[in-house]
Amino acid sequence: MSTELKRIILEMGTGNDLYGEDYTKAAKRAVQDALHHSSLTIFKSLDIDPNSMQIELNLAAQSPEKIDLEEVASTLPYGQVTPKGIKGGLNIYDEVTDRTTVIVNAGIIVRLAL
């Protein structure tokens, strides 16, 4: 039996912080958005421990260095998470309020040894 890691899931989400320019808050919302698109019945159906998942957490933001990667990774309920911040996302400046809305994209890749 092979124990090679195989990619089985890709989920995507988007999160924002409208007023505080909090990249971590926006990233956590992006992860929650991605999770709400999933129902992972495969684990119970196949009697697989969900903590055996290897999770690659990609977070795209205009200032990825401002994301607390470990805090965001801790919001995932299962698996071994490897978070990474990358350049992307979107900032939208509002000249009337002098505030910037931060938008972060999350790409969650799950691999299992099969």
Question: The domain 5-113 is classified under which CATH number: 3.30.1330.20, 2.30.300.10, 3.30.870.10, 2.120.10.30?
Answer: 3.30.1330.20
Task: Express each pLDDT in 61-98 by its tens digit.
Answer: 999 999 999 999 999 999 999 999 999 999 999 999 99
Query: Domain-by-domain residue ranges, the chain?
Result: 5-113
For residues 96-109, give the mean pLDDT. Answer: 96
Task: Express each pLDDT in 2-59 by its tens digit.
Answer: 579 999 999 999 999 999 999 999 999 999 999 998 777 788 888 888 899 999 999 9
The 3-class secondary structure across 62-82, one letter per residue, is CCHHHCCHHHHHCCCCCCEEE
Q: How does DSSP classify residue 8?
A: E
